[in-house]
A and B are shown apart, each in its own frame.
Chain A
Amino acid sequence: NAGVTQTPKFRILKIGQSMTLQCTQDMNHNYMYWYRQDPGMGLKLIYYSVGAGITDKGEVPNGYNVSRSTTEDFPLRLELAAPSQTSVYFCASSTGTSGGNEQFFGPGTRLTVL
């Protein structure tokens, strides 16, 4: 059981470039989430999904897009990268059952936009 995996681990982008951050989970979780974490700022929710084909915006969705075609994968697309998108990005998943809703996190992608 690999849990939640993310690729790449590190990436440097130039302003205006685009990229996709990959996230895969093998726990058959319905719910998946994308967060960004800036220094000292905690986790901010970008997008989330409650199942294949269903996505919804979080607190900071501008500049990002997502898709959820399978239960396992939840890629995050950055279009026209800006320095403000320099951050650490975490993907997480959970069963989504009422009550606990424990979220399991991937190792993160450290993105720098120059």
Chain B
Amino acid sequence: QKEVEQNSGPLSVPEGAIASLNCTYSDRGSQSFFWYRQYSGKSPELIMFIYSNGDKEDGRFTAQLNKASQYVSLLIRDSQPSDSATYLCAVKDGNKLVFGAGTILRVKS
């Protein structure tokens, strides 16, 4: 069973700053990684996913993979109060996703 670890936080950043979220994964052979955002009382929604072949940027969000150290990062530039949520990292495991427990992000205005 693959494992995904995340710091539960909360991570507090001022509005306009860069928020950096990390997760570590146990299986060195993992190739697909996902970041979901979950607002309080709502269901998770996909922000972005990356493959083992490189980083990815989408608007204010950048996902980076460090295969040597087995961690995935999500950078949020120009953080906004609306980015305050729990961010879930997930790793593909066959037909399934294995989720971390999530990191709470708070953006202070």
Contact = CB atoms under 8 A, between A and B. Distances in A.
A104 B34 CA distance: 12
Contacts of A104: 46
A42 B88 contact: yes
B14 to A, nearest CB: 25
A100 B100 CA distance: 18
B81 interface: no
Given A43-B88, A58-B96, A106 B43 contact: yes
Interface residues of B, number: 22
A101 to B, nearest CB: 6
B43 A42 contact: no
B32 to A, nearest CB: 6
A42 B101 contact: yes
Chain A binding site: helix, strand, loop or mixed by DSSP?
Answer: loop
Interface residues of A, number: 25
A88 to B, nearest CB: 9
A79 B12 CA distance: 42
Contact of A41 (B44, B95, B98, B101): B101
B8 interface: yes
A86 interface: no
Contact of A102 (B8, B43, B46, B51): B46
Contacts of A45: 96-98
B96 A105 contact: no
Interface string B30-58: 00101000000011111001010000000
A74 interface: no
Contacts of A107: 42-43
